[in-house]
Amino acid sequence: MPVSTEVHQYRLPEPRAVGDPRAAGVTILFGGLTEAHERLVEGAWEGLGYRVRGLPTPDNEALAIGREYGNRGMCNPAYYTIGNLIKFLLRLRQAGVPDIENRFVYLTAGSCGPCRFGMYEAEYRRSLAQAGFPDFPILVVQQADGLDQSQEGSGAKLERPFLLGLIRALMLGDILNELGHALRPYECERGSVDEALDEGRRWLYWALRDRESPVPALRRLRRRLDEVAVDYLRPRPKVKLTGEFWAQTTEGDGSYHMARWLEQEGAEVLVEPVGTWIEYLLWTRLQRSHDRRGLPREGRESHSGMLELRLRLGEMMFSSVYNTYRAAVGFRVEPLASMDALARYAHDYYNTRITGGEAFLEVAKTIYSVGRRKAHMVISIKPFGCMPSTQSDGVQVKVLADHPDALFVAVETSGDSEVHVQSRVQMMLQEARARAREEFESTAQRLGLAGLLDPAARPAGLPHPAPMAPLPRRAVGTATNYLWWLRRPAVLRSLPVPSEVLAEALRRYRRDPEKGA
Ligand code: SF4
């Protein structure tokens, strides 16, 4: 049989134009974040008149469906998220819902690469066609386009309030998640923190849906969480989760439920806020603009004073709003790490102009967590075969050689090796536990509080800060920082803004992309 030698250029099919999803009366499906983020995004968009629905957290059934309909060689997050969408649509079809392709659209983030993320949109379309939904519309929020998402090719007109609502909901979701991870390990009554957070999430949902400021709801949440009883005299290892964006964010099988499992193992988990990624996008855009000073425009790449001003204003507004929300919860939530500081940390190891995946952030966050004494241990979660994370893991070898005290473990998620991954993490967690204990005991001796080491001999009526009061940041562990709090003069214990927060806030405003380059 003759073999054709003709070569055809592959062209992405033109997306079906949806226009304004409100006028078209379609329901926007989305997913891939945490439960808290997704419920709040629903509230923000429903408040603007959109019909929306966050998909359930992807599980291994979604992975299997994604592998069945997807191309070979896609990465794990693509299989999970595409499979999750197809699973949902197949269920709608089984339930007899008619006209699915005209009543629903899927909204996802997109980029032009350089890793396989650049092909997600095409893979979504191809897999949906294989599953029997050839005309199902995919709307793409291009990461590089910021608030300007109305250009041709996006398939829909997404206006600024839609994107601003998304950003606000993501910030609030970050705050809820961080509070949960900070307080759950110390709650006296199991489930009490989650109960309070569920109420807070409902208050925030309604604030966003009614297009009101979420600040009163955050203050109410602070008062509600202050009613929860906590016991800080439990030394817990602090474990920072980093890695590829989706793998470190998802709460389901895609990360082997890592954050919740670590909590069950007695750790306090530091999850990465989605806000860091938004700041990274602004920072890289500013860096690219800087690099093009004096050069003629090339495609969409250009430099102008106005563009730089807008980006700087965007950065300032983002951090101001985030800090306003932090203030409403009594600064119990950490500030976002300064992008300049992260770039400086990564500079000797990773060119900050290389993009793709988490770029220099994975390396920077490891050094930041160790150097700033934020965590006893760092876990980097990467999906099987992730190109940028594999690159980062190679660089981490040098980082660990230069920081021999760092406890770091990189794990790869493939959907079917949960026990193997957990046993690798367990080995290092054992060491982190020992460090947290040693730090607590030596500080207790040093501060003359050795009597607290024996639970049976602890004095009754020991003063305790309200759960939402920030502790000093003298050591890594929360229990050790509580000992420092006990040693503060009583008049300083209830300072509304601790000096550590002021120092951190000042550091964040010393920004210059050149410093990180
Ligand atoms: S960062 Fe890794 S897992 Fe994520 S899209 Fe790129 S290659 Fe895939």
CATH code of the domain in which 79 resides: 3.40.50
In this structure, is residue 73 part of a structural domain? yes
Residue nearest to atom 7 of ligand 1 (CA): 386
Atom 5 in ligand 1: residue holding the nearest Cα: 117
Work out which ligand 1 atom sits closest to the CA atom of 358: 1
Nearest-angstrom CA–CA distance, 432 and 415 = 26
Q: Which of 76, 245, 389 to mutate to test the pocket of ligand 1 (most atoms within 8 A of CB)?
A: 389
Please tell me the total count of domains within the chain: 2
Same domain for 256 and 152, yes or no, is: no
Q: What burial letters (b/e) apply to 130-142, b meaning 16+ CB within 10 Å?
A: ebebeebbbbbbb
CA separation, residue 189 to residues 138, 192, 194, 231, 318 (Å)? 44, 6, 11, 10, 36
Q: Tens of pLDDT along 491-504?
A: 777 665 555 555 55
Q: 124 and 272: one domain? A: no
472 domain-assigned: no
Best residue among 246, 248, 391 to mutate for probing ligand 1's pocket (most ligand atoms within 8 Å of CB) is: 246
Q: What would the mean pLDDT of 407-420 be, rounded to a whole number?
A: 89
Residue 515 is predicted with a pLDDT of 44
Half-sphere exposure of residue 151, counting CA atoms within 13 Å on the CB side? 11
Other beta carbons within 10 Å of 365: 28
Q: What is the pLDDT of residue 499?
A: 52
pLDDT for the residue numbered 149:
61
CA distance 285 to 308: 9
What percentage of residues in the chain have a pLDDT greater than 90?
Answer: 65
How far, in Å, is the centroid of ligand 1 from the Cα of 150? 26
Looking at residue 319, its pLDDT comes to 93
Quick check: is 97 in a domain?
yes
Give the separation between CA 332 and CA 223, rounded to whole angstroms: 12
Q: What is the dihedral of CA 56, 61, 66, 69, to 10 degrees?
A: -120
The band of 27, judged by pLDDT with boundaries at 50, 70 and 90, is: very high
130 and 253 assigned to the same domain: no
In this structure, the answer to whether residues 137 and 247 fall within a common structural domain is: no
Cα 42 to Cα 209: distance, rounded to the nearest angstrom: 8
SS3 488: coil
Looking at the fold, whether 155 and 258 belong to one and the same domain comes out as no
How close is the Cα of 418 to the center of ligand 1, in Å? Answer: 20
242 shares its domain with 381:
yes
Per-residue confidence (pLDDT) for residue 508, from 0 to 100: 55
Q: Which residue from 378, 169, 361, 109 is spatially nearest to 258, judged by alpha carbons?
A: 378
How far is ligand 1, taken at its centre, from the CA of residue 22, in Å?
32
Specify the pLDDT at position 512: 45
112-132 per-position pLDDT tens digit: 778 888 888 888 888 999 999
Distances (CA, A) of 76 to 70, 141, 208, 385, 393: 11, 20, 33, 8, 17
Question: What's the one-letter identity of residue 512?
Answer: D
pLDDT (0 to 100) of residue 256? 94
| Residue 23 reports pLDDT greater than 90 | no
Q: Is the Cα dihedral 472, 36, 168, 144 positive or negative?
A: positive
How many separate helices (H) and strands (E) can be counted in the chain?
Answer: 21, 8
Q: Which of 112, 147, 162 is the last residue of a domain?
A: 162
The owner of tokens 């001003």 is 309
The answer to whether residue 5 is domain-embedded is: no
pLDDT of residue 458: 83
- Predicted confidence at residue 501, as pLDDT, reads 56
Cα 351 to middle of ligand 1, angstroms: 18
Any alpha helices (H) in 267-360, and if so which ranges?
274-291, 305-328, 339-346
Q: Is the pLDDT of residue 11 over 90?
A: no
CA distance 404 to 49: 54
- Ligand 1 centre and the CA of 9: distance in Å? 24
How many A from CA of 93 to the centre of ligand 1?
30
Same domain for 398 and 280:
yes
Partner residues linked to 379 by β-bridges? 241, 409
The minimum-distance atom of ligand 1 relative to the CA of 387 is 7
Span 79-115, pLDDT tens digits: 999 999 999 999 999 999 999 999 999 998 877 778 8
- The domain boundary, picked from 139, 162, 185, lies at 162
Q: Are 331 and 470 in contact (CB under 8 A)?
A: yes
Pocket test for ligand 1, best of 76, 115, 246, 384 (most atoms within 8 A of CB): 115
Q: Which of 76, 117, 384 to mutate to test the pocket of ligand 1 (most atoms within 8 A of CB)?
A: 117
- Number of residues assigned to the chain: 517
CA distances from 279 to 307, 317, 409, 472, 475 (A): 16, 11, 26, 26, 27
Q: Tell me: do 150 and 258 sit in the same domain.
A: no
Ligand 1 centre from 36 Cα, in Å?
23
Name the band, by pLDDT with cuts 50, 70 and 90, for residue 4: confident
In a domain, 315, yes or no: yes
Quote the pLDDT of residue 516.
42
**Residues 257, 251: contact at Cβ < 8 Å?**
yes
Residue type, 46: E
Domain range for 252? 238-426+506-516
Q: If you average pLDDT over residues 318-323, what whole number do you get?
A: 95
For the entire predicted model, the pTM comes to 0.90
In a domain, 42, yes or no: yes
Instruction: Give the distance (Å) from ligand 1 centre to CA of residue 117.
Output: 6
What's the rounded mean pLDDT across residues 354-371? Answer: 91
Q: Reduced to 3 states, what is the DSSP secondary structure of residue 163?
A: helix
Ligand 1 site residues, Cβ closer than 6 angstroms: 75, 77, 115-117, 244, 357, 383, 386-389
Rounded to an integer, the average pLDDT of 279-288 is 92
pLDDT digit string, tens, across residues 469-480: 989 888 999 999
Tokens of residue 390, six digits:
């594999």
Cis amide prior to 114 (ω within 30 degrees): yes
Whether 431 is in a domain gets the answer no
pLDDT at 84: 97
Q: How far, in Å, CA of 285 to CA of 287, rounded? A: 5
pLDDT given at position 511: 47
What tokens were used for 245? 């964006």
pLDDT per position as a tens digit, 321-338: 999 999 999 999 999 999
Ligand 1 centroid–CA 387 distance in Å is 6
Distance of alpha carbon 386 from alpha carbon 460, whole angstroms: 53
Residue type at position 65:
I
* 66 occurs within a structural domain: yes
Burial tier of 378 (Cβ tally within 10 Å: 0-12, 13-18, 19+):
buried
Asked which of 116, 132, 162 is the last residue of a domain, the reply is 162
